[in-house]
Structures are given as C-alpha cells and as structure tokens.
Structure 1
Amino acid sequence: MPKFCWGLMLWATLCLVGGAGVGAQEGNLAGLRSEARAGLQRAIAFYRTQVATHGGYVYHYSLDLTRRWGEGEATRDQIWVQPPGTPTVGLAYLAAYQATQDDEYLAAVQEVAEALLYGQLESGGWSNCIDFDPQGQRTSRYRNGRGGGKNNSSLDDGQTQTAIRFLLRADQALRFEHAKIHEATLLALDSLLAAQYPCGAFPQVWSGPLPQPQPRAASLPSYDSRTEGRVKEYWNLYTLNDNVAVFVAQTLRAAHAVYRQEKYLDALKRLGDFLILAQLPEPQPAWAQQYTFEMHPAWARRFEPPAISGFESQEVIALLMEIYLATGQEKYLEPLPAALAYLQRSTLADGRLARYYELQTNRPLYMEREGNEYHLTYKDDRLPDHYGWKTSSNVVQLRQALATVRSRYGQREAEPSAASLAEEVRAVLDDLDAQGRWIRYSNGQRLVGQLRLPEGEAYLSSAVFSENVTTLANFLQAE
C-alpha cells in the first residue's frame, strides 16, 4: 500500500515542529552547519560516484553494490523512475544545490535529468523503469529510438509526475539553458495536459489520444458491481488509486510556479472540478479508487473492487483543500463537511478506516486469496499481506485543517527554523558512516517494491538517502 501522500503544503503546515532542539544556541548551530555541509558532501559523493548507473538509481542496494532492486531485481543497465527512484534522488540533489550553490550538486542534478531524458517515451511520459540495454527485457518505446516494447506513459504512484516535477525544477536551476532538458520537460507537460479528460480526471496510463466522454456526476451502478462491470484495460478509466491525483496536482502547481503559464493552473482547477463530480451521493458522500466513463465506481486489479475507499477519500479531502489554497475558490471546500462526517461514522472499532466500504450497505469489504484467485469477504482474519486493507484515520487532523484553511489562503507557509531541525540533523549525521552511507537492516518485512530481505540483512535505500540529504539541505537553508 502506498504511503499516504501528505507531501503537499497543507499537510506540511500541520506537521511543522516548533521549539528548539539540541544545538539551538547560535554557536552550536554554526558548528552543526559545518558538520552538515561535510556530511552532505560525503553522502552525495558516495551515492553519485559509487551507486549511480547511467546517472540513475533503483530502490535498494546490497552493501557491496552487486545486487540492486526496484520492483524486482534490476540489472546495472536498469534504473527506476517510480518514487523513490531516480527523480526522488534528483530532487534531493536539487535541495542540496539550492541550499549550498555547490556546482558539484548541480552537475549531479544534470546527470539525473539526462538519465531520465533517455527513457522518455514517445507518448511523452515515463514508465516505472528505464533500461539502457536496447536488448534488455524492460525497454519501452523511447523517444531516442533505442528501445522497443510498450509506449505506456504511467501516472501510477507518481512515475511520470515525479519525473516531470524534477525536470522542471532542474530546468529552472539550469536557467532554462539546457536545450534538451527544457524541450523534453515542456513536451512532457503538454503530454500530461493532453491526457486530462474533459471532466478533469486523468487515466492511470496513456499511450496516445484518449476517448472524450462528457462530464457527469458520480452515481451508483444499476448492476451488481461486485460481480459485473469488470474492464480489462482499467488503466484507461478515471483514476484516483495509487496517488494519481495528488502527484498530478503537485506537478501542475510546480509547473505553474516555474513557467508562470495559466494553462497549468487551469488544469489543476479542472482536476478539482472532477473531484467534486466524483463524490458519491449520500449516504456515502466519499470517493472510490476508479470510475467508469459513466462515473460509476469501477474494478481495477482483481483485489481492488468498486467501493468507497477510506484511503483515497482522505487523500481527496486534503487535495481539495490544497486546490482551494491555490485558487481561493470556495467550491472546492463544499464537499468536505459531508465527507468528513461520513468517514467519522464509518470508523472501525480499532479507530482505523477500511480501505473498502461496500456500495450501499457501507459494510467494510475485504479480500481473501486462494492461489491466484481473490474472493470478496466481510471477514478480516485472512487478509493477504501485500496490500493495505485498513488505513489510519486522519479525520481529526483533516477537520482541524478545514477549520483553518480559509485563514491560510494567500499566506506564505512558515518554514521550519534551523533550531527546530537541529535534533533531527544531529541524528542524521550520527547515522552516516565514514564512507558516506546510511545503512539500514531488514526487519524481515516487505520493503518498497515488494522486496523482502532476510531479517538483519544490511542494505542501502534510495528513500533513506533522499530523505536524509533533504533534511540536511533544509537545515542549511533555514534561518
């Protein structure tokens, strides 16, 4: 199950930590800044020179760097686009450059951008992996003509969106003077806008021109959606699943901020208009993962039934507030009180929300697995462990955000102070070894990409690297 994507400005506001930590005195902060600069340099030098292949990255590495994993084991010619892969590391390099103006970090940014350009598809976006071996098993139809296979630009879990968001910021850092990066970024953005349906929704995947159904409000199907209405190419449908809308919104806001073109803000508004249309009627005024062109909740994968989703509904509520903050338009807040009240009364006995609630009955809905077959059930005692069937309830936090969101419109969000970050920075530096590595040890559970290492086995993580580099960079930039 993807991590709840609260990466937008709204949620960052709620999560800022106040007060002074270790080293809050100015003298101690100066010493910590010096350590942070040295640690940043050591960590980036290691990851850039020892870990990167073709300028890109995967999710996890063995300590000796002989084994690499994205979604499955990867060759040295394969890099991952889906977060926390190549563009995630690139965004960390960008944070380091912005904090220090060190040209070495800008060179690292350019290397990542050029790696992504290699794997841009003819359809304008990216798939989850780039294979630099023209005969490799994971090649796709790249614009450079060096790969065969599918031409599916994917919005699943932020693949294309994060690549674009990194590239447009790299384009800006390079003063829009790297012609290939600039051209590829604008082409990707144009392709993303072309993939938006008339109602404002986006598909999970596109490879070319899409159908143009007329917008309509969401409604319940007249057929039994538990057994009927499956669509083989569900990835063409209106999609909220796997953070599609949140990552798209981040990208559109970033594009508007960098290029100052209204078409990106207009697309964000249209996305918000779709989210309003997609709210199901009472007594279940929340959202599904995917919708048919008739705006009925739709099947996706075999274990993803048409239903109200506790996870995606919370995500949509936060996103609508974010769109309000970007536009000041009240209509984006109007669906939220009813949705929050619904989620509150749908809370499970343990305080969490079910991933799925059955249409009409509102009973929590789960799946059991027998071999390759999945079966709907109301029981939660035999749940497959590869998916998140329950999710934390953030209703209280969302209510608090809604209560204050109007007062924050037009206001610049507060940045954390250096003093408030000092304790976290101290821990990050203490965790960095002499070679510039942040080593992690498996607890035997699944990692990103479904990798399961033996308990206690050491590995390197691109997610950990990117988070820690960003923490150090934020500290160096803070006052």
Structure 2
Amino acid sequence: MPSAVRLLVFTFCLIGWVLPVAAATTEQSPNASRVLAQMKKAATFYRSQVAVRGGYVYFYSPDLKQRYGEGVASPEQIWVQPPGTPTVGMAFLDAYEATSDSFYLDAATEAATALIYGQLQSGGWTNCIDFNPQGERVALYRNGHGKGKNNSSLDDDQTQSALRFLMRLDKTYNFENEAIHTAAKTGLDALLEAQCPNGAFPQVWTGPADSSLPIVKASYPDYDWKTEGRVKNYWDMYTLNDGLAGSVTEVLLDASEIYKDPRYLEAAKKLGDFLILAQMPDPQPGWAQQYSYDMKPIWARKFEPPAIAGRESVDAMDALLSIFQVTRDRKYLDPCGKGIAYLESSKLPNGQLARYYELKTNRPLYMNREGKSYVLTYDDSNLPDHYGWKTNSKVAYLKERTNRVLKLARQYGSRRSVSASDANRILRSLDSEGRWITTFKNERLVGDQRFKPGDQFISSETFAENLVDLSTYLKSMN
C-alpha cells in the first residue's frame, strides 16, 4: 500500500476513534423547558409539603415527620437563622427574577409573611419563630401574639438575613406592599438605634444603645485575662462574632442602595470607624471576637476566651473593604495592610488560621473539654468537635480583593457562573417526588444535630443553593 494511502487510512481511523470519545465526553446542555419544569417540581414540593405557614427549618427527614433547627423543631416552629426561612425566601426570589413566574413571588411573600409574624417588639429577630403562643420558643412579637424575651439578635446572621430578604422583596414590590415595607423599615430603624456611639453593635439588643458609652481605642487587658474579667452579659457588649461586621455592613450598604437614605451609609461608615478603633495594637494588629465597653478583649461563652480571632479578623477586613468600595475613603483601607500581613505571619503549618491566638504571645490557643468545663491549652490534638477551632486563612482572598476594590466600585448582583455540567448534576439528583436528598457523611452541620453517618435528610441549604444555581443557569441561556 502506498504511503500516502496508508496515511489517509490511518487518518480516517483516528477520526473515527476520536469523534465518539469527544461525543461521549461533551455533556449536552439541558434545555430551558427541562430546567423550568424541574425547578417548579422542586419548589412545589418545598412550598406545599415542607413549609409551615410559609417558613422553614434547616433539615427534614425524608418522610417529613422530623424537623430540625437548633435541635428538634416542633410542628409550629420555623427558623430565621440561615439556612432557614430567609435563605429559602431569597432562593424563591432568584427563581422569580429568572422566570417571571408569580408562583415563586407568592412563595417568597409567604416566607416574608412568616418572618413578619416573628418580628420582635425590639425590631429584629431571634433564631426561631414559634407560632404556638404557648410554645417553648415563643418570644415577644411585634404583632402582639407572643410573650417572653425581646432579644433581637445579630448572632449567626439572624436579623441580618431577615432584613436582606425583606428589603429585596420590598424593592421587588416597588415598596407598595405595606406589610413588607413596614417590617423592613422597622427593622432597619431598630438596627440604627442599636448602634453604639463608637459604631459597634452588640450581639443582642432590646432597645436603643446607651448614648453615654465611651469612644476609645482597643488595648490589651492589664489584668490576668485567663482568670479575671469575665462578664456574664457579654452579649450586650461590642461583638464581631460569627461574621457580624460583614453581615451588618452588607445590610447597611444594601439599605443605602435600595432606599436612598443617607442614614444607612452613615451607619456603615460609623461601623467602619469602630473597626478601625477595634484593631489591636502591635504585635497583633488583628481583631478580637468580643470587646468590653473600655475596648479590651473579653470572654464570651466558656469556650470563647479573650484573644485575637482569626475568623473575625478576616471578616473585619472584608467589611472595611466593602465600606472603602463605596466611600473611597482610604482610612477604611489602611488597616487592612497591617492586618493581612499579621494573618500571613500567623498561619498554622497546614496553612489555616487558628480561631484564637493568645494575647501578646500570638500562640494558637485552643480548649479541651473536661466534663462540663473547658480548659485552655496550646494542644490541638483533642479538640471538641462542636466548634470551629481552625479556619481557612483567606489571606490570598483578602489580597486579591484589596487589589480589586482599588479599581472597582461596589458591584451588585454578581454571582458565579453555573455550567451545563453543574445544571445537569442538580437536575439528575432531584428525585421523582421533587426532593434533593442528602446523605450524612459525618460533616459538621449548622445547629446541634444528631445524625449518624448514612442517615438521609432534606436540607433547606441544598434546596436553596440548587434553586439559585438553576436560576442562574437559566438566566445565562437568555
């Protein structure tokens, strides 16, 4: 056979082998009608079978007989804290914006109505809403149907998530739904009144902040912090725990954009001023988790010592960068240079950050559990598993974001892209009843759960993430 003919035969054989492989590895994009149908199927199941008066908890057993928030939830309880009712409501709003289907707007409005029922007289929310007036978790609701505690909480994104959802829904209704508009503005007014003179926020409030509190810069305790300085009502004092700075900043900047009211930007700038004051002096220019009124790190819960906090330091700088993006005032940017360098030098051997660093020595600080007590230790070999003692450093993220915000003003509504492969995976995982079932693999879950490896459950977080991703994919098809 001539060489030219042999080459031609080989080429055709190669093409015949490559094309089927390429066809097998190229995943077909799901069409819009399939995505729409599966979104509606999942949302219908969640809205009609899972919701309690429009609200949601974290997890459900597949037969819906068991409901879980922070532990077991009664049939008349829903959760505010993410991934509860505001998280699901936001997902419905995403779906409405992607489809213009009023089904999703109605579902979001039902979630908002449930939240409005549980808005406290102090203007914010606690983690749970109990529709039973005699229920064990009932609180002093603004609607007059509750009783008991009136503790509006900024812990774990509780009030913040409710406000972000209600504000976005208020804008969707062009501010014409009176109940939603009133609840959002009442909550925002209460949040502004809870801000302390130095710009800080407490973890919990029942009324306006004390206007006589001093404004001073953070300093190290001048006493033995290991045994002294414990404050029972730490929740009344200045808090950065669990992402408070970033989540409150987001609420205030969103409110400024949505309502065009200068009070909200001023409050965000004031919070930024507090974060500048709260940055600790050398040799540890990071941030603590909790401060006293004289701006010294203090104890919170018995496993939360006075210390420099890796996670809260990242969040404080993230908030400052957000405020700088809007104001372009470099005073909010300047603390980040020293802070990032400090975190870079404080990384653990595995690249993570410790949740706590001992004051002045900067040694990673942990707790061991002995019965009901906790003991300070430098040893990380036997840590209690109910708490995040280490965290991803996010130093690279902070560096990248610093460079980005120097060039760009704040961007609204940006979201990651969703590929055809991602969309197909989500669609395939939806079962015939419209459920996304999760199998527990011994991972840490929000709330005090008691699942065993292999247990199956329905997750509000998974539902919301999948609905948002499918909505994002659908938008990309237009």
Return the TM-score normalized by structure 2: 0.91
Query: Distance between the aligned counterparts of 2:84 and 2:377, measured in 1?
Result: 35
From 431, 434, 446, give the equivalent of 2:432. Answer: 434
Moved over 3 A (4+): 410-417
1:99 CA displacement: 1.0
**Other structure's SS at 1:450 match:** coil
For 1:355-366, list aligned pairs within 5 A.
355-366=355-366
**Other structure's SS at 2:365 match:** strand
Residues 1:156 and 1:403: Cα distance change in structure 2 (over 3 Å): same
**Other structure's SS at 2:252 match:** helix
Contact 1:364 1:378 survives alignment (8 Å): yes
Q: Does 1:455 align with 2:453?
A: yes
Contact 1:445 1:452 survives alignment (8 Å): no
| Stretch moving more, 149-158 or 220-229 | 220-229
Deviations 1:134-167, CA, capped at 9 Å, x for gaps: 1111100011121111000000011011111111
Residues 1:297 and 1:75: Cα distance change in structure 2 (over 3 Å): same
1:33 CA displacement: 2.3
- In the alignment, what sits opposite 2:203? 204
1:416 CA displacement: 4.9
For 1:228-239, list aligned pairs within 5 A.
228-239=228-239
Contact 2:358 2:365 survives alignment (8 Å): yes
**Other structure's SS at 1:45 match:** helix
Q: Does 1:317 align with 2:317?
A: yes
Return the TM-score normalized by structure 1: 0.91
For 1:333-352, list aligned pairs within 5 A.
333-352=333-352
Q: Does 1:268 align with 2:268?
A: yes
- In the alignment, what sits opposite 1:175? 174
For 1:189-200, list aligned pairs within 5 A.
189-200=188-199
Contact 2:246 2:318 survives alignment (8 Å): no
- In the alignment, what sits opposite 1:106? 105
> 1 or 2 for the larger relative contact order (CA 8 Å, sep ≥6)?
1
Deviations 1:249-297, CA, capped at 9 Å, x for gaps: 1111221121111111111111111111110011100100011111111
Residues 1:291 and 1:436: Cα distance change in structure 2 (over 3 Å): same
1:414 CA displacement: 6.0
Q: Does 1:221 align with 2:211?
A: no
Contact 1:132 1:139 survives alignment (8 Å): yes
**Other structure's SS at 2:376 match:** strand
Q: Does 1:61 align with 2:40?
A: no
**Other structure's SS at 2:368 match:** strand
Query: Distance between the aligned counterparts of 2:452 and 2:411, measured in 1?
Result: 48
Deviations 1:188-207, CA, capped at 9 Å, x for gaps: 11001101111111100001
**Other structure's SS at 1:449 match:** coil
1:180 CA displacement: 1.5
Matched AA of 1:301: R
Query: Distance between the aligned counterparts of 1:183 and 1:397, measured in 2?
Result: 38
**Other structure's SS at 2:269 match:** helix
Query: Distance between the aligned counterparts of 1:307 and 1:280, measured in 2?
Result: 10
Query: Distance between the aligned counterparts of 1:410 and 1:268, measured in 2?
Result: 14
- Gap runs ≥5 in structure 1: 1-21
Contact 1:290 1:306 survives alignment (8 Å): yes
Matched positions, count: 454
Residues 1:147 and 1:92: Cα distance change in structure 2 (over 3 Å): same
**Other structure's SS at 1:145 match:** coil
- In the alignment, what sits opposite 1:15? none
For 1:383-394, list aligned pairs within 5 A.
383-394=383-394
Deviations 1:435-479, CA, capped at 9 Å, x for gaps: 111100111344211212121111100000001111111122235
Query: Distance between the aligned counterparts of 1:351 and 1:465, measured in 2?
Result: 32
Query: Distance between the aligned counterparts of 1:387 and 1:477, measured in 2?
Result: 38
Query: Distance between the aligned counterparts of 2:219 and 2:283, measured in 1?
Result: 12
Contact 1:446 1:452 survives alignment (8 Å): no
- In the alignment, what sits opposite 1:467? 465
Query: Distance between the aligned counterparts of 1:457 and 1:347, measured in 2?
Result: 36
**Other structure's SS at 2:334 match:** coil
Contact 1:444 1:452 survives alignment (8 Å): no
**Other structure's SS at 2:386 match:** coil
- In the alignment, what sits opposite 2:94? 95
**Other structure's SS at 1:146 match:** coil
Contact 1:445 1:453 survives alignment (8 Å): no
- In the alignment, what sits opposite 1:246? 246
Deviations 1:209-254, CA, capped at 9 Å, x for gaps: 3223122111111111111111100001110001111111111122
- In the alignment, what sits opposite 1:76? 75
- In the alignment, what sits opposite 2:133? 134
1:403 CA displacement: 2.7
**Other structure's SS at 1:364 match:** coil
Q: Does 1:185 align with 2:216?
A: no
Query: Distance between the aligned counterparts of 2:438 and 2:316, measured in 1?
Result: 33
Contact 1:366 1:377 survives alignment (8 Å): yes
Q: Does 1:423 align with 2:430?
A: no
Residues 1:469 and 1:354: Cα distance change in structure 2 (over 3 Å): same
**Other structure's SS at 1:448 match:** coil
What RMSD, in angstroms, separates the aligned Cα atoms of the two structures? 1.9
Residues 1:287 and 1:264: Cα distance change in structure 2 (over 3 Å): same
Query: Distance between the aligned counterparts of 2:473 and 2:306, measured in 1?
Result: 44
Matched AA of 1:298: I
Query: Distance between the aligned counterparts of 1:171 and 1:412, measured in 2?
Result: 17
Matched AA of 1:193: L
- In the alignment, what sits opposite 1:115? 114
| Stretch moving more, 207-216 or 141-150 | 207-216
Query: Distance between the aligned counterparts of 1:255 and 1:401, measured in 2?
Result: 23
Identity between Structure 1 and Structure 2 (%): 53
